[in-house]
Amino acid sequence: MISFLKKHALICGFLLFTSATTSIYTVNAFSVNSLKSQGSKLETLTQIQTKTTKVTKTKIHPSFLPILPKLKQTSKFPILLPRIIPGSEGENKLYAVIETATPNKYGIILGFTPDCGGGNACRLGDISAETITKKTPRLSGKTVKLANGITAYFIDTKCGANCSDSTLTWQLKRVQYTAGIKAGKLKDLVQMANSFIAP
């Protein structure tokens, strides 16, 4: 009888131990799975945030990328270039060709050939910037308000055998910037000027 009770007690103890162990294992497995799930969700959220950041990050127009290293190496004042160039949306690739690059000035031709020298056939427009000095001419033209309250001056195109650039010029932090589009409209130049950013 005593032997039977001992065996019964041992069996009950074993069952209780097995049940407790199983419960602990289940809890631990749940905790691990929960942590893995949370980690996976966090990783996914991070990836989404990273992708969103990459998508929303503003960039200059791709035509400027090949010449940007030279501009940064040469210019001694803040470089600003547009993200938007009206008229470049077609199938023809747009090229930015450096016309002038000194520590105090740069001039860039926007054309549809990689060697466009500003000729009317290949030209779309131009971009220029130079530091303001005592010799800088006083700005003239139709006054236009840009973003952040900046005042710009618009000079319309003149057409004869060919059409000249319409230009929009403004000054910011002792630098004068000009955007030009051949026979361009004021609204297009304003859109272009408002998209100027530091590369």
Q: What is the pLDDT of residues 128-158, one digit of tens each?
A: 999 999 999 999 999 999 998 999 999 999 9
pLDDT tens profile 2-29:
454 444 444 445 444 445 444 444 444 4
**Residue count (the chain):** 199
Give the pLDDT of residue 160. 85
Output the CA torsion 186→192→193→196 (10° steps).
Answer: 180
Q: Rounded mean pLDDT of the chain?
A: 81
pLDDT band at 185 (very low <50, low <70, confident <90, very high): very high
Give the pLDDT of residue 45. 41
Amino acid of residue 147: A
* Residues 6 or more apart in contact with residue 132 via CB below 8 angstroms: 171, 174, 175, 176
170, pLDDT greater than 70: yes
Give the pLDDT of residue 118. 78
- DSSP assignment of 3-31 equals HHHHHHHHHHHHHHHHHHHHHHHHHHHHH
User: pTM for this one?
Assistant: 0.70
Instruction: Give the distance, in angstroms, between the CA of residue 93 and the centroid of all CA atoms in the same chain.
Output: 20
Is the model more confident about 61 or about 31?
Answer: 61
pLDDT band at 42 (very low <50, low <70, confident <90, very high): very low
pLDDT tens profile 96-118:
999 999 999 999 999 999 999 87
Give the pLDDT of residue 119. 79
